[in-house]
Amino acid sequence: MKKIRFRLSVVGISMAIMGTGAGGLAIAGGMQGGRTVPAKAPYSAVASLHAAQTLIQSVTHGTMQVVNVFPGPQSNITGILAKPRLSGVRVNGAGIQGRPVIAWMVDNQYLTPGVLLGASGQNFTFQAALKMGLIQKPMAPQKLAQDTLRSPGFTIGKSGPLMVAFMDPNCSFCHVFWDAVQPEVAAGKLLVKVVPAGFLRPSSLPKAVTILMQKSPAQAWGYDEVHFHVHTEEGGTVPVKHLDPQVSAEIRANTTLLARTGEVATPTVVACENGQKLPTILHGLPTGGLKALLGGAQSLQKNGTCGASS
């Protein structure tokens, strides 16, 4: 099933994946669709490092620093490994992690955060992250499903096939997903386990922790969605002043597990398509909405396989 939209956090910027374009290399994020990038001057590590430092400093207003640069798939594209300068800073009691991220510089002048796709579908960002040890190889679907069902979270719905969704409280596409499943949930045709993650914005972790600390996390998440600010892409939750350390650790563990799906993106859905024995991992909203999943869908089982809903 083709994935089309999700939210991803890179270089402190949220972005949407819009497609792969007609040919060449498609750069997703901050651009409409993809574009073919013609090759120019040969790659120079020294020149590219200087250009990357200047560009990152300007675009992020000094909030990010360049760790390293590396050759991109074409001579005028440079990969940038950067990290936040905010390591050690605390927001509402939650530490901001200085995790490195990947961005791409084009012609030493343009910066695009996130996913760089080839015409045949190669994900150069993912390949670079694997090579540099930034992420682990994706977990097998059955093991991933087992772990998600054991992860801290909450379930909405009373009956129907079960699916799991990783969601960030500041994710605009999660907001679309949440609204889309409500009719099926209300009709008793779907169960959704929400596994809260926190990575899109500095407030994401505190909001996710605050929600999971509540007596009814499902109601608290519903409040976040009802009061979601679409234009600023901010959930309506106001973080509490004192975050529970154990719940904070649980949200971080959920975010780490999300990375084992192959992409740190939300919504990421673990679900059973009709006739399949093992679950499908969907990063983003499926083409045509949820119809393909809901039509005769099977349910996730405790052992990580697919079967009839109980």
Q: Could you report the per-residue pLDDT of 242-262, keeping only the tens digit for each? A: 999 999 999 999 999 998 898
pLDDT of residue 68: 92
Work out the mean pLDDT of the chain and round it to a whole number: 80
pLDDT of residue 14: 33
CATH fold of 141-307: Glutaredoxin (3.40.30)
Does residue 25 register a pLDDT over 50?
no
Does residue 54 register a pLDDT over 80?
yes
- CB-based contacts of 48-56 (< 8 A; 24+ apart in sequence): 48/78, 48/105, 48/108, 51/78, 51/105, 51/108, 51/109, 52/78, 52/80, 52/105, 55/105, 55/108, 55/109, 55/111, 56/11, 56/80, 56/82, 56/103, 56/111
Give the confidence band of 16 by pLDDT, cuts at 50, 70, 90. very low
Does residue 278 register a pLDDT over 70?
yes
pLDDT of residue 89: 38
Share of the chain above pLDDT 70, in %: 76
Cα–Cα dist 241/93, whole Å: 7
Contact 20/13 with Cβ under 8 angstroms? no
Residue extents of the structural domains in the chain: 3-131, 141-307
The mean pLDDT of 179-191, rounded to a whole number, is 93
Give the confidence band of 132 by pLDDT, cuts at 50, 70, 90. confident
The mean pLDDT of 41-56, rounded to a whole number, is 80
Who wins on pLDDT, 31 or 186?
Answer: 186
Does residue 38 register a pLDDT over 50?
no
pLDDT of residue 43: 56
pLDDT of residue 67: 92
